Amino acid sequence: MTNQNLAQFKSVFKAENLKITPQRLEVFREMCDSDEHRESEKIYLALRKRNIHVSRATVFRTMDLLYENGFVSRMDIGDGKWRYEHWLDCSHHDHLICIRCGRIVEFFDPEIEKLQEDVCSRFDYQLVRHSHQLFGMCKECAD
């Protein structure tokens, strides 16, 4: 977690009238310092492991706040859990997921992005967001 991350966190939470509590700070720090795509339970357990006591409910609540305020993005790969990743650089991307080992790779394809817009205007929809996941077998798993 850089000083800039921290400053941004504080300023957004202040602006939203959300208190900057030790628990929220710890959850935010945990997110800043990992590049993984984790579900809330894993984040909760990571904090536990570092002997930081934040309740499960608070982790869930804080992940919601971080998501609503654009500090993390989340994805749903169809197993009923949200997977969160920090979104400090705010660069949009989609995901390629290995169906065997679960490894997740990020991709961004401007052409696909554009074609999505085209599809929407074809059907008279205003695109708000999208979810695009490719499930396959990574090189190691395919061998």
Partner DNA sequence: AATATTGTTGAGACTCATTCTCAACAGAAT
Partner DNA sequence: ATTCTGTTGAGAATGAGTCTCAACAATATT
The answer to whether 1 and 33 have CB atoms below 8 angstroms apart is yes
Region from 5-13, 38-46, 64-72, 123-131 binding a copy of itself, contact rule CB under 8 A: 123-131
Q: For DNA, give the closer residue by CB, 29 or 61.
A: 61
> How far does the chain reach from its first CA to its final CA, in angstroms?
38
Task: Walk across the sheet containing 72-76 and list its strands.
Answer: 38-39, 82-86, 72-76
Burial of 138 (0-12, 13-18, 19+ CB in 10 A): middle
The answer to whether 24 and 12 have CB atoms below 8 angstroms apart is no
Q: For a copy of itself, give the closer residue by CB, 49 or 122.
A: 122
Residue with tokens 């599809």: 119
Q: Which of residues 39-98 bind a copy of itself (CB under 8 A)?
A: 76, 78, 80, 96, 98
**At its nearest, how many Å lie between a copy of itself and the CB of residue 140?**
9
Binding site for a copy of itself (CB under 8 A): 76, 78, 80, 96, 98-99, 105, 107, 109, 111-112, 115-116, 118-120, 122-139, 142
Query: Which residues make up the interface to DNA (CB under 7 A)?
Result: 17-19, 21, 23-24, 39-41, 53-58, 60-62, 64, 80-82
